[in-house]
């Protein structure tokens, strides 16, 4: 019988440092919890122990502090990011039904030692789950250590290999060498190797201290004599107690099944999708009413039912995620709960399949009418696939992905699997389950029809079920109007935007690639010269050797593999040596070349000869759109190199590119939200807001404001919007904290209503747990009342910025819908091609330019009424970089 005994306190810290930068959508760090749960699952699910327990350190001092005041005195306080995770780790342990044992005045190691003795008495074989070398003293023929992170097991032989003595001699070794992590002093001048050699020679610490004169080295003899009592104390501190007064019965330690409901609830809150997937049964839905439609009679009956329905869910299966390359393989439809139909069309099979043209011809009038509600999950994709077949899905529509996003924009994922787990408690069959992964992955047309039926019909069924669940929630949260009047109409805009694409000058990019390659070669040669040798500029390991060992530069942030060579580290080192600056230049150029210059031509569609990106409306927490495959929103525009890449974006012959960019929209919204008279006055009189702020802060007339003053004022203006602290401003501008604070204080003196607005916004957010935009978009901020300063600070900054950035995003969406509807009227030979934050880019026939500009300006500037005017800067050009402002 095996008893698994987990060193809980040790594992919490190990998990925290092993897994970095992990948090849920509320901003709460979850890295330690995730690592801890991974370890627990490995044990409870894979090992299935006979007996199981977990030991934690109790709060407060232990008997060791009474013995030696300096014990663990050099240990830093628990990191702020770890503190809020501890209660969740305890809750999860409880949900796993694992006994938690701790004792005031003792450490987890002592509890473990006592439990090992208890297990020996009950003739149990014990496996201590830990990575802590201190516990090696407990190893025996019945006790083993198991480090699950390294999957390393330690028995008596491994202890002897490490320390040269058996487990009983480990405290003797620590008595001599001490332990820096626990601040156990040991004997000065004795490290692990010397300690091991001495114990091997003399047999024990006491034997050494009895006869120090037998030690050959004089300095060692002196230290052993002078610090004999310290050595004995160190051994005692390092020795694990095996008689802690804890009461536990053998029955309590028996392995029990975990509480599925509690775990599911906690994993949902923590947003551990992977664990939720593992926990949720695959077949909580019945697949009995999933039907294959592969003959005329069944198809006619289905079409008749669809025609009579008020709403239905529709889902397509294809050969590719790229809608311009995807070939329609099958269609699934659900008309009621737990019932769905799959129509195979282009499977590579001998089984009966209906002719594609016949199916499309029957579905087209239904999909294109305004009578039926068409429900989809990411319905934009289905729309674009159907367009390839000559079908335009008409309003009304509903999209479960968008609905889920509106309800919790902080969540990282709104795919159907996630929605199903959260709202239906059902684990779906995954796409990988059907097509495989890696080299064995097949396209959907090669999937067996019966297998495809269950998978695709479930997609339609779950989409239908999710719609029924999500719509009342939207209404309850007063998000239904935003959903129906903004987000759903926007889907049509984005579908067209993606289909339109943009023309790319591939010849220009090829020449630019050659130019960048030459510049990179020059930088490499200069870097070799500065380093005094050739090395791989892309190798962090080689960089560490060059920077920190050969050149002896200041070592900054410690990472697993040594010291960091990331951009922040290089920027700091640039003050000490010229090489780091060259490395930064190299990385900037290499990234632009690899990510855009060389990659974009490869992404041009062979059929349309244009570049097509995807615009995502369910990714950012603020409501802004994002771009992917490729990401056109990340091309740097403030650098000369970034602007060169934008030169590659060109119009078709006879057309011109037009950029319409909302001017300082977030600052205008700050004026509207705060009702600050000085800010409102500046915008009403069309003043340069940064110069006006410089006038206010520096108490200067406008003609006395220098470019440096304006630049500083601009940084403060935008820093204020993003909740920047004096520390952040000082770091950004390279000034003292006190000077930065004085600038912020002066800003709020001159714009007093802004400070009042921020304070009121924070108070409301603390009360409600969320903030809203002018249009009612919600951003949950449940961590705004967190006791953890880091987590709370993140939420407080979001409380200030989210209403501004979110409203700006909403205004842009409304403008896109308005302009899109204008273009659908067909009065202009123009199309929308790119959207980046506050900017819309169009391709417009040259002879219609001025008429188009007039209409777009009017539509965008009058899309909403604010206390200050909206202003749109419109430019034209032969490419996206060389744009000339068109004056009103």
Same domain? For 526 and 409 the reply is no
Q: Which ranges of the chain have pLDDT less than 70?
A: 25-27, 280-286, 558-561
Residues in CB range of 81: below 8 A, 6 or more apart: 16, 29, 31, 788, 790, 791
Inside any domain, residue 755: no
Same domain? For 430 and 556 the reply is no
> Of the candidates 578, 609, 640, which is a domain's last residue?
609
Alpha carbons 401 and 416: distance in angstroms, whole number: 7
Same domain? For 205 and 90 the reply is yes
The CATH number of residue 215's host domain is: 3.40.50.1010
Same domain? For 513 and 473 the reply is no
Inside any domain, residue 348: yes
Same domain? For 80 and 224 the reply is yes
Inside any domain, residue 656: no
Q: Residue 300: how many CB atoms within 10 A of its CB?
A: 12
| pLDDT score of 1 | 87
**From the centroid of its chain, how far is CA 313?**
30
The CATH number of residue 359's host domain is: 3.30.420.10
What's the pLDDT tens digit per position in 575-625?
A: 889 999 999 999 999 999 999 999 999 999 999 999 999 999 999 989 999
CB 860 within 8 A of CB 808: no
Closest by alpha carbon to 113, among 96, 132, 97?
A: 132
Same domain? For 471 and 519 the reply is no
Inside any domain, residue 803: no
| pLDDT score of 540 | 87
Inside any domain, residue 216: yes
Same domain? For 604 and 718 the reply is no
Alpha carbons 71 and 239: distance in angstroms, whole number: 13
Alpha carbons 339 and 458: distance in angstroms, whole number: 9
In total, the chain counts a number of residues equal to 888
The domain of 722 spans 686-750
Inside any domain, residue 552: yes
Same domain? For 36 and 139 the reply is yes
Same domain? For 227 and 303 the reply is no
CA distances from 547 to 248, 561, 574 (A): 56, 14, 11
CA distances from 666 to 92, 222, 583, 692 (A): 42, 72, 35, 16
CB 443 within 8 A of CB 435: yes
> Of the candidates 594, 609, 624, which is a domain's last residue?
609
Find residue 373's DSSP bridge partners. Answer: 311
Same domain? For 463 and 521 the reply is no
Based on the structure, what is the number of domains in the chain?
4
User: Can you list the alpha helix ranges (DSSP code H) found in 722-847?
Assistant: 726-733, 737-750, 752-768, 789-824
Inside any domain, residue 381: yes
Same domain? For 67 and 153 the reply is yes
Q: Quote the DSSP letter at residue 360.
A: H
> Of the candidates 175, 207, 238, which is a domain's last residue?
238
CB 488 within 8 A of CB 397: yes
pTM value?
0.78
| pLDDT score of 561 | 67
Dihedral sign computed on CA atoms, order 487, 489, 492, 496 = negative
| pLDDT score of 745 | 86
Same domain? For 426 and 321 the reply is yes
Alpha carbons 725 and 753: distance in angstroms, whole number: 18
Inside any domain, residue 728: yes
């Amino acid at each position: 019988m095996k008893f698994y005994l987990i060193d809980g306190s040790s594992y919490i810290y190990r998990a925290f440092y092993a897994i970095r930068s992990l948090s849920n959508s509320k901003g709460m760090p979850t890295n330690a919890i995730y690592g801890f749960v991974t370890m627990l699952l490995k044990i409870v699910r894979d090992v299935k122990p006979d007996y199981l327990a977990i030991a934690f350190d109790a709060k407060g001092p232990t008997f060791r502090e009474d013995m030696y005041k300096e014990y663990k005195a050099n240990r830093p306080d628990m990191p702020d990011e770890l503190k809020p995770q501890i209660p969740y780790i305890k809750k999860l342990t409880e949900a796993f039904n694992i006994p938690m044992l701790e004792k005031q005045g003792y450490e987890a190691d002592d509890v473990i030692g006592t439990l090992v003795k208890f297990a020996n008495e009950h003739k149990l074989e014990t496996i201590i789950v830990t990575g802590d070398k201190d516990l090696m003293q407990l190893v025996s023929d019945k006790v083993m250590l198991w480090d699950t992170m390294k999957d390393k097991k330690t028995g008596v032989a491994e202890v002897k290999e490490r320390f040269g003595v058996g487990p009983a001699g480990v405290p003797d070794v620590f008595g001599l060498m001490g332990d820096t992590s626990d601040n156990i002093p040991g004997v000065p001048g004795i490290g692990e190797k010397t300690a091991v050699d001495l114990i091997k020679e003399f047999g024990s610490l006491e034997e050494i201290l009895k006869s120090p004169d037998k030690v050959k080295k004089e300095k060692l003899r002196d230290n052993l004599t002078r610090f004999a009592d310290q050595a004995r104390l160190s051994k005692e501190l390092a020795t694990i107690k095996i008689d802690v007064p804890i009461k536990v019965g053998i029955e309590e330690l028996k392995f029990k099944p975990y509480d599925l409901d509690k775990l599911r609830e906690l994993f949902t809150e923590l947003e551990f999708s992977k664990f939720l997937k593992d926990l949720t049964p695959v077949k909580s839905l019945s697949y009995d009413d999933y039907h294959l439609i592969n003959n005329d009679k069944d198809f006619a009956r289905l079409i008749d039912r669809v025609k009579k329905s008020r709403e239905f869910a529709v889902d397509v299966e294809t050969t590719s995620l790229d809608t311009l390359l995807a070939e329609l393989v099958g269609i699934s439809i659900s008309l009621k709960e737990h019932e769905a139909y799959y129509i195979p069309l282009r499977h590579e099979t001998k089984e009966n399949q209906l002719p594609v043209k016949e199916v499309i011809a029957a579905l087209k009038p239904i999909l294109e009418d305004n009578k039926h509600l068409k429900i989809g999950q990411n319905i934009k994709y289905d729309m674009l696939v159907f367009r390839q077949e000559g079908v335009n899905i008409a309003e009304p529509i509903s999209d479960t992905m968008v609905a889920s996003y509106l309800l919790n924009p902080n969540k990282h994922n709104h795919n159907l699997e996630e929605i199903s787990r959260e709202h239906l408690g059902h684990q779906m069959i995954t796409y990988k389950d059907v097509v495989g992964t890696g080299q064995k992955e097949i396209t959907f047309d090669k999937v067996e029809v019966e297998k495809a039926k269950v998978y695709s019909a479930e997609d339609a069924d779950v989409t239908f079920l999710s719609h029924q669940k999500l719509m009342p929630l939207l209404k309850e949260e007063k998000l239904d109007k935003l959903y129906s009047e903004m987000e759903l109409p926007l889907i049509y805009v984005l579908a067209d935007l993606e289909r339109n694409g943009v023309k790319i000058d591939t010849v220009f990019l090829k020449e630019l690639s050659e130019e960048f390659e030459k510049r990179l070669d020059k930088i490499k040669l200069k870097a070799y010269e500065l380093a005094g040798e050739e090395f791989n500029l892309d190798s962090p390991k080689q960089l560490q050797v060059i920077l920190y060992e050969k050149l002896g530069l200041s070592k900054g942030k410690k990472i697993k593999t040594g010291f960091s060579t990331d951009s922040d580290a290089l920027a700091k080192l640039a003050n000490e040596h010229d090489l780091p600056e060259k490395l930064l230049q190299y990385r900037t150029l290499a990234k632009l070349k690899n990510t855009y210059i060389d990659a974009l031509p490869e992404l041009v569609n062979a059929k349309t000869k244009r570049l097509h990106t995807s615009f995502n409306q369910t990714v950012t927490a603020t409501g802004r759109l994002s771009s992917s495959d490729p990401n056109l929103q990340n091309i740097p525009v403030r650098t000369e190199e970034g602007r060169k890449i934008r030169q590659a974006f060109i119009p078709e012959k006879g057309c011109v590119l037009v950029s319409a960019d909302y001017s300082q929209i977030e600052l205008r919204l700050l004026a509207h939200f705060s009702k600050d008279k000085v800010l409102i006055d500046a915008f009403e009189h069309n003043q340069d807001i940064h110069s006006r702020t410089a006038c206010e802060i520096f108490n200067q007339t406008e003609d006395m404001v220098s470019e440096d003053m304006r630049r500083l004022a601009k940084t403060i203006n935008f820093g204020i919007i993003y909740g920047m602290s004096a520390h952040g401003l000082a770091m950004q501008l390279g000034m003292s904290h006190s000077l930065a604070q004085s600038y912020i204080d002066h800003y709020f003196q001159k714009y007093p209503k802004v400070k009042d607005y921020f304070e009121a916004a924070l108070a409301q957010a603390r009360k409600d747990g969320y903030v809203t935009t002018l249009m009612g978009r919600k951003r949950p901020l449940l961590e705004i009342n967190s006791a953890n300063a880091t987590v709370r600070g993140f939420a407080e900054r979001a409380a200030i910025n989210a209403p501004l950035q979110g409203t700006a995003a909403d205004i842009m969406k409304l403008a896109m819908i308005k302009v899109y509807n204008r273009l659908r009227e067909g009065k202009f030979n123009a199309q929308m091609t790119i959207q980046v934050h506050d900017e819309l880019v169009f391709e417009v026939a040259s002879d219609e330019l001025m008429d188009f500009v007039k209409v777009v300006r009017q539509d965008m500037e009058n899309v909403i009424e604010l206390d200050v005017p909206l202003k749109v800067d419109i430019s034209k050009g032969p490419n996206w970089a060389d744009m000339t402002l068109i004056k009103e």
